[in-house]
Chain A
């Protein structure tokens, strides 16, 4: 059995034997050199200033562990959030290019409806006191912009959620509003051509020409841009959102296709083709397709570079072409070509690089702007259920869904009172 150990005595002896009388040479100098380049912290930046020394030690001692736990917790939360988003389908598509087709929003009988990708299962989203229409999905598929008639017979530009919630008026008191509402690529702003309703007692038309309106869908505001003497219509956003291109008509020397910043500055004429309008940016932002006067007074399709260079006429025939729309991959253009005085048309698809034109089967569509599905596989157009009856020529009432891949006859969905439609883009 060993003898008991006097811990106090043993440890003290041990420490005394191992203690040193002086620090190694150079340690003081190196420490002071380091201190010379160290600034004193304000007292408030030290934990000890705010809490007791014991608490400060606890804080400092556990700080790294707490930080590690916080970082791990944050990572877990992020992974969980990503998992939830990926399963809930709430992640957003890119602002342009192919996307997954979602719902279709339609104007039917002056109200706004939401339908499935096949045009069926329609539910009413919004019904104001009067007409509501021209509903258009934002590029990210989360919002819908639309026009709504008011009691004073003017029109308001409005936005709401994709599920019809939160309808908000951006601007009211408008007349002569464009049929197409243009969303910015970031889905935060809209642009449209319209004219302000003049004061009572003054003539509305033709003294008040169409001007460009830019609206902020995030904050619920909108205003005319470019000054009171800038008349134009059909504004469209460039894919990077930095430029609006628009048409100017009927004002003489300034007619043509123009561009400007969204705040109305830096106005430039890209083309002097008369009656220029319905511009459409290619998804890569390098080209603009637009309509303008042809040689014999009809409406032809043009292409011009984003800087105004390389303008060329794409179609040159006696018939009128109408609203061009780019395919999501930017290789093709679809446009209605009018066939007769009853506004009947057929859809043409132009291969932009090769120049080849393909005519889709079905000659009963209207000249209204067709809709290319977000995945590029289908095209929506509006059709007449009684195409040969002149009395019903102006009353189209069907949705024609063309399959671009096999160019078979379209599937026609009867929708009484149908006017316009817009296809929701979802993340692939």
Chain B
């Protein structure tokens, strides 16, 4: 993100912030929907994150830290949206509209479905840790800054999330083996 855009926006330049929003929104939405696995909630979280970013922008001391700062705001908004999701307790359809369609094998699709089931069962905090570490590629320290928790907490969340995912995939694999033996027979 260009530093001068951030500085202009900090001085109240709405046009500059519009440019920032335009450049950021695809990425913000991508991250939010990965964490939330719900397009409506992701849209709510992104819109709120942009509003909060604009509202509190003058409190950002170092414009070079803007991206990490905005990610932190987005994560908080995702948590809030996830809370809303839990309260609604409604069955939402997974919106995959706009998802990248990649060449894929049947087995790979099955694996991702298993991962998806496991991922959806995780708490929002664990999902967020997985996204910022594995997808955004942030180090523990960088993830800690974005998630607003100590680096040690990031590690423990990743461990818990990975263990939960591994257990899910193991269970799926075990359930497939008898079916395969049955098919061979």
Which A residues are closer than 8 A to B by beta carbons? Answer: 2, 5, 7-8, 10-24, 27-28, 30-32, 34-36, 38-43, 45-46, 48-49, 53-54, 56-58, 60-61
Contacts and interface: CB of A to CB of B under 8 A. Distances in A.
A57 B55 CA distance: 16
B166 interface: yes
SS class, residues of chain B in contact with chain A:
helix
Contact of B21 (A5, A16, A17, A28): A28
Given A2-B170, A48-B59, A31 B47 contact: yes
A290 to B, nearest CB: 67
B55 A31 contact: no
Contact of B98 (A7, A22, A39, A53): A22
B98 A35 contact: no
A31 B50 contact: yes
B98 A20 contact: yes
B6 to A, nearest CB: 13
A58 B170 CA distance: 36
A338 to B, nearest CB: 79
Given A5-B169, A27-B29, A46-B59, A17 B51 contact: no
Interface string B1-44: 00000000000101001100110011011100110010100010
Contact of A23 (B26, B51, B100): B26
A35 B58 contact: no
Contacts, number: 155
B151 to A, nearest CB: 10
A62 to B, nearest CB: 10
Contacts of B17: 35
B58 A40 contact: yes
Contact of B58 (A24, A28, A42): A42
27 contacts: A2-B169, A2-B170, A7-B162, A12-B134, A13-B108, A15-B131, A17-B99, A17-B100, A17-B112, A18-B116, A21-B26, A22-B26, A23-B30, A28-B21, A31-B21, A34-B51, A35-B50, A35-B51, A38-B51, A38-B55, A40-B56, A42-B58, A45-B59, A48-B60, A53-B145, A54-B148, A61-B148
Interface string B123-158: 000000011001100000000110011100000000
Interface residues of B, number: 60
A51 to B, nearest CB: 11
B54 interface: yes
B46 interface: yes
Interface string B89-110: 0000000111110101000100
Task: Select the residue from B17, B39, B59 with max chain A CB neighbours within 10 A.
Answer: B59
Contacts of B56: 40-41, 46, 48
A57 B22 CA distance: 26
Contacts of A14: 112, 115-116, 119
